[in-house]
């Protein structure tokens, strides 16, 4: 068909990181791009309900409580108990700045944003709010995901929350039960415990965050328990009772946990239920997610899907990269040049966790002869100065070639520190000697790489 038969070369559904990445990549490549957004503002769940508001709240809680715990303030007799509203006060300003900045990207590149719910009418046509019809050669579905709501949990109860609604919590509770110990669950467990709230963390599996390196998992588990979080593994819900004075979680093991509020953090559902996918022959899985190939194409080759709507790894950073990769593929750059499988994990507990590359478990299973270099943050001058001595950096490397195979960090600024290791792993000089032969600023947290590399070298014989 000729260009006159289509309104756009690419039409993107959703303006979160995945949609933005696809739209910007395609329009920079000369394609006519349009975008639909059903919410009143752009940015998606990342900006309005997930990453930005939760990380802004985490930062406020951490910085505020660090100040209040400072011995100097204690000596001055300064005691305070900030309300949830006070802690949340700066979040809206940050969201506003993010929306304004992202709106400027679309404006500068002449990408129209059409407000309303997009639904497929046929393989090349969508309708907006059952009205205006738009035809496009290609589509990118970047509609994100929402918290999974089982039918037998009363989310209308004022004491039962999910990971979206918990951000609007009005009163600071004295206790909370978090059901689900994935990334969201452990982040909120850490956040609420920093506020002095009693936390029950209920895990449906045998270990926390099993995809991480075992030593990092052990460190996280120890640190959460050391802070006072009660972790219960291998549990599953039987029923939940909401009362006027609290919520009772009945577990199939027979245990009963009563706390002021309950946060359901067990899974997410892809936002695909109102897209008219039946009209194009696409069927989501049981969690509303779309299956895609390595180029992010669905079963219909001109319809792509990126971000949380396709499931793992469900990271804003990954969504943006996936969107760009889909845009490149639509532009004909079928080989791509993005490291879509080189995505670091960033978990914003207190302290943070971040990792990239292989774990010890994976290398052992693959019979790779590796060695470990470690640096404990308590030995770093910078960590001592800023009072962030909890944590460690470990480097996994091939004992024969010295190739860096994985980097894992638990501690302050881990999500920033990890990128040094990531860069070295993808450089021409991707072996341990980069760290031993490079001069690092002193005192810094990054110095942990030199310490860990020398520690690893000392293990060789």
């982040």: which residue's tokens? 187
d(CA 144, CA 131): 23
d(CA 61, CA 190): 10
181 annotated to a ligand binding site: yes
67 annotated to a ligand binding site: no
Q: What ranges make up the beta strands (E) of 113-265?
A: 113-115, 118-122, 125-128, 132-141, 145-147, 160-162, 175-179, 198-202, 230-232, 237-243, 246-251, 256-259, 261-264
Q: Are 103 and 26 in contact (CB under 8 A)?
A: no
d(CA 13, CA 10): 10
187 annotated to a ligand binding site: yes
* CA neighbours closer than 13 Å in the CB half-sphere of residue 71: 1
186 annotated to a ligand binding site: yes
Question: Which of 306, 315, 432, 401 is CA-nearest to residue 18?
Answer: 306
User: Any idea what the Cα angle at residue 388 is, between residues 226 and 52, rounded to 5°?
Assistant: 90
182 annotated to a ligand binding site: yes
Give CA torsion, residues 415, 269, 159, 82, to 10 deg. Answer: 20
d(CA 386, CA 310): 40
Q: How far is CA 62 from CA 85, 225, 350, 351, in A?
A: 15, 18, 8, 10
Q: Are 12 and 140 in contact (CB under 8 A)?
A: yes
111's CB contacts (< 8 A; 6+ apart) are 23, 24, 27, 33, 34, 35, 105
The DSSP call for residue 376 is E
Q: Are 14 and 142 in contact (CB under 8 A)?
A: yes
184 annotated to a ligand binding site: yes
Q: Which two tokens stand for residue 385?
A: 């100065």
d(CA 107, CA 388): 42
Q: Which two tokens stand for residue 322?
A: 């996936």
Q: Which residues pair with 74 in a beta bridge?
A: none
180 annotated to a ligand binding site: yes
Binding-site residue positions for NAD(+): 180-187, 267
Binding-site residue positions for FAD: 55, 308
Binding-site residue positions: 55, 180-187, 267, 308
């Amino acid at each position: 068909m000729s260009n006159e038969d289509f309104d756009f070369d690419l039409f993107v559904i959703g303006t979160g990181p995945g949609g933005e990445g696809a739209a910007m990549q395609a329009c920079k490549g000369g394609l006519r791009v349009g975008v639909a957004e059903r919410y009143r503002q752009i940015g998606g769940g990342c900006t309005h309900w997930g990453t930005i508001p939760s990380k802004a709240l985490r930062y406020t809680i951490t910085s505020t409580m660090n100040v209040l715990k400072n011995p100097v303030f204690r000596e001055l007799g300064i005691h305070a108990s900030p309300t949830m509203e006070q802690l949340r006060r700066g979040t809206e300003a940050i969201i506003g700045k993010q929306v304004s900045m992202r709106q400027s990207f679309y404006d500068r590149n002449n990408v129209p944003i059409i407000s309303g719910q997009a639904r497929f009418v046929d393989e090349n046509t969508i309708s907006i709010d059952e009205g205006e019809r738009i035809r496009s050669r290609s589509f990118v579905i970047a509609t994100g995901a929402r918290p999974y709501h089982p039918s037998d949990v009363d989310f209308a109860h004022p004491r039962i929350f999910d990971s979206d609604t918990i951000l609007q919590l009005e009163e600071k509770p004295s206790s909370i039960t978090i059901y689900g110990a994935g990334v969201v669950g452990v982040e909120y467990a850490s956040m609420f415990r920093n506020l002095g709230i009693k936390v029950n963390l209920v895990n449906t599996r045998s270990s926390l965050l099993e995809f991480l390196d075992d030593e990092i998992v052990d460190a996280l588990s120890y640190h959460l328990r050391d802070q006072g979080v009660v972790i219960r593994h291998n549990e599953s819900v039987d029923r939940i009772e909401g009362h006027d004075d609290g919520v009772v979680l009945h577990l199939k093991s027979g245990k009963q946990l009563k706390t002021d509020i309950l946060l359901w953090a067990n899974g997410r559902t892809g936002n695909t239920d109102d897209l008219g996918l039946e009209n194009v022959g696409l069927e989501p899985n049981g969690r509303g997610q779309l299956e895609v190939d390595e180029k992010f194409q669905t079963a219909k080759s001109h319809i792509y899907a990126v971000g949380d709507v396709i499931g793992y790894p469900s990271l804003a950073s990954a969504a943006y990269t996936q969107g760009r990769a889909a845009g490149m593929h639509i532009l004909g750059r079928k080989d791509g040049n993005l490291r879509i499988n080189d995505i670091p994990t960033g978990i914003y507990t207190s302290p943070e966790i971040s990792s990239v590359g292989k774990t010890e478990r994976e290398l052992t299973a693959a019979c790779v002869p590796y060695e470990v270099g470690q640096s404990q943050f308590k030995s770093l001058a910078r960590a001592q100065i800023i009072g962030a001595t909890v944590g460690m950096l470990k480097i996994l490397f091939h004992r024969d070639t010295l190739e860096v195979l994985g980097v894992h960090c638990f501690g302050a600024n881990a999500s920033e520190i990890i990128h040094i290791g990531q860069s070295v792993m993808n450089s021409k000089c991707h072996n341990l000697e980069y760290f031993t032969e490079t001069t690092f600023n002193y005192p810094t947290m990054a110095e942990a790489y030199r310490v860990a590399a020398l520690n690893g070298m000392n293990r060789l014989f």
